[in-house]
Structure 1
């Protein structure tokens, strides 16, 4: 979830993503894993909350082959749409457009015991393939693919960039994100520096804070208040926040509070858009069950290797050969190369701790 400004300076290679997250999508699915006892009506209502996109039918056969081993790739997008209630929580007006300003590719290994999380900076210049009636283009920003052709074009662009088939797609918008945090009772973060960002409206002293949904949205969107003001620093805040969000979900003791359980499940299912294969409570539960062996220590998280674009100091391009080495490793279901890990420098703007919200 980012703001719509595309004037983000990029000055250095991505920082370390350290022991990161199981992702907002997994937090959503984890809430649903224990929804089996809510009854037929509630189950039907939760199913009706989920919005879907039939990406497989739209893309057809002109895409990378699906894995036959059980390995899996998921594309997570954060939309900056201002439609509906999004303009109220994020500011701005609805001009009928939206971009995918947060993008993470999650590769789950064959045994479903390890996951690699790769963030794609929104300001990456890419070659966008033809999407429906929209002609392809080179040297355009990655996040415009969603604007041009929605989820389908975003998936097609990622598959073209990576050579990986995206088996699933999950999208979250501003309003859904804020509502989920509020339903959790807030999420606690600890910052190691003061954050003062007049653009996002976030002002936090160094220390521990329990954030409301609105504050959490401002936190994951901030970039001017920390680091060098680049989108790369913001990626780190987002990844660390999701780790805290996961811890918050796990600490709530939902089995003993069915009312809270339903409230969270209803909010979570209303907050996401998925591919049609994942677009039911049953499918989300199965998806979450397949991930339950993966713990924080089993996750490797990096940003796609990148460097400042020669044509524009405010944009980045894939750094070669490291970017290709990364995608090839995931295609072959092997570990992230050391050449890629070496690019991640430890310089976090914040650390995150989680506690049960009261």
Structure 2
């Protein structure tokens, strides 16, 4: 029932009581709050204007009469219904609702979408410029034919990581040899399995006695010179000594292990400081207090997060741990690198744009790579391959060595020929050290279980 039929209209035309609901896009009958609304007619089309519509009715009090001849071109004018008669839709439009207007939310989405598209385009241009900036940061050196020609995505990967003792950068005067040209102070051969399920990091002691082969080396002016080899010298002389470059260190590693590296990366003191700061520090755990007057590291036993200058002091420390030699320091370096790799793969790092940018800046400035890795895209491809590795299956080990029998005062070591060949063979044949360790543990546990079992009487043995 409409207001007129209930006697509550007070001379108001019921057509004036139909109001467009902006939320639904439909016309609804609006009554006074006191009017009971037992039934509400269906949707009503907008009231037409024009002479035909005005004929036969009087304008409501206070309202100007509608002027004829103002019909909207192209709009359908529904017939006027009798007062009190049920609402009927116009012919040919039966059962159809009026089209809904776009909501404010949809308009907001359209504007937001357009803005985001602009941001993406702007970021693309800025991203290109930033990549060019990173490419300019990268310093590379020729591999002089000492590598395999670069890593391959469908093969095992062998990267030679070299940390030098060159005192470059502010605040590094107290570390390393004052006049060092940058020797191979810390060297690790990182082997990543073909299926990327595991990896082995093989540390090579700097004081290991090796034979350095002849090394064809590209000079700064582009010419090549063969630097004569040196038998029976410390491994760290494979870099820096007599003008040797990282390509010579690669040849020495191949001579020692039988494994030809795919690529090399060289890091100086600054790399340790800037990389650890970029990721917000790495966590290390000490079994006892460290107070090293040489590295100036002072840390109590327990867990610590270190970065920057403190991180560099940590990897340089050796006099306050173990026997005070290079082998004792290797243990600290392995713990540090393991923690750093876990931090690099953590969500805390990968989901932080600021940390990723700092890491990209630090990495491209602090590392020197071979000519096969001389662009950010190539480094990205390598990073994607290394990123597939589960760091829980990363095993750190060291070339098996023993004291140099030729020395009375023990300062250097030599390869332990009874153990080293097996280690080299496992890496060369892409055997998982994690699985080997697990298998040895099972065998040890089995032996222990048998010993704990019930023993037979001596008379029966």
Q: Smaller-chain TM-score range?
A: 0.7 to 0.9
User: Which structure has the higher relative contact order (CA within 8 Å, separation 6+)?
Assistant: 1
> What's the CA shift for 1:78?
0.4
Instruction: Give distance in 2, aligned partners of 1:111 and 1:52.
Output: 28
In the alignment of these two chains, the number of paired residues is 303
1:144 maps to what in 2? 237
Gap runs ≥5 in structure 1: 1-34, 343-358
2:422 maps to what in 1? 325
> What's the CA shift for 1:261?
2.6
Match of 1:121 among 205, 224, 229: 205
Matches within 5 A, 1:30-69: 39-55=127-143, 58-59=144-145
Distance 1:75 1:121, change over 3 A: same
Instruction: Give distance in 2, aligned partners of 1:68 and 1:220.
Output: 31
Q: Are 2:181 and 1:97 aligned?
A: yes
Counterpart contact for 1:64–1:165, Cα < 8 Å: no
Distance 1:169 1:38, change over 3 A: farther
Instruction: Give distance in 2, aligned partners of 1:322 and 1:96.
Output: 33
1:81 maps to what in 2? 166
Distance 1:260 1:328, change over 3 A: closer
Instruction: Give distance in 2, aligned partners of 1:65 and 1:43.
Output: 21
> What's the CA shift for 1:69?
6.6
Distance 1:43 1:207, change over 3 A: same
Q: Are 2:280 and 1:185 aligned?
A: yes
Counterpart contact for 1:89–1:214, Cα < 8 Å: no
Q: Helix, strand or coil for the counterpart of 1:334?
A: coil
> What's the CA shift for 1:197?
0.6
Q: 232-241 vs 206-215, which deviates more?
A: 206-215
Distance 1:255 1:318, change over 3 A: closer
Instruction: Give distance in 1, aligned partners of 2:146 and 2:248.
Output: 13
TM-score scaled by length of structure 1: 0.76
TM-score scaled by length of structure 2: 0.60
- Two-structure CA RMSD over aligned residues (Å): 2.9
Counterpart contact for 2:199–2:432, Cα < 8 Å: no
Gap runs ≥5 in structure 2: 1-122, 217-225, 441-461
> What's the CA shift for 1:302?
0.9
Instruction: Give distance in 1, aligned partners of 2:127 and 2:264.
Output: 27
Match of 2:228 among 121, 135, 154: 135
Instruction: Give distance in 1, aligned partners of 2:387 and 2:356.
Output: 19
Instruction: Give distance in 2, aligned partners of 1:101 and 1:50.
Output: 22
Distance 1:135 1:91, change over 3 A: closer
> What's the CA shift for 1:141?
0.2
1:71 maps to what in 2? 156
Which of 1 and 2 has greater Rg? 2
Deviations 1:308-333 (A, max 9, x none): 11112211111013212222232222
> What's the CA shift for 1:96?
5.4
Counterpart contact for 1:75–1:103, Cα < 8 Å: yes
Q: Helix, strand or coil for the counterpart of 1:171?
A: strand
2:404 maps to what in 1? 309
2:56 maps to what in 1? none
Q: Helix, strand or coil for the counterpart of 1:87?
A: coil
Instruction: Give distance in 1, aligned partners of 2:150 and 2:340.
Output: 33
Distance 1:108 1:210, change over 3 A: closer
Q: Helix, strand or coil for the counterpart of 1:189?
A: strand
> What's the CA shift for 1:296?
2.0
2:50 maps to what in 1? none
1:222 maps to what in 2? 317
Runs of 4+ in 1 over 6 A off after TM superposition: 35-38, 63-69
Q: Are 2:420 and 1:334 aligned?
A: no
> What's the CA shift for 1:244?
1.9
Q: Are 2:286 and 1:198 aligned?
A: no
Q: Helix, strand or coil for the counterpart of 2:172?
A: helix
Distance 1:205 1:253, change over 3 A: closer
> What's the CA shift for 1:300?
2.4
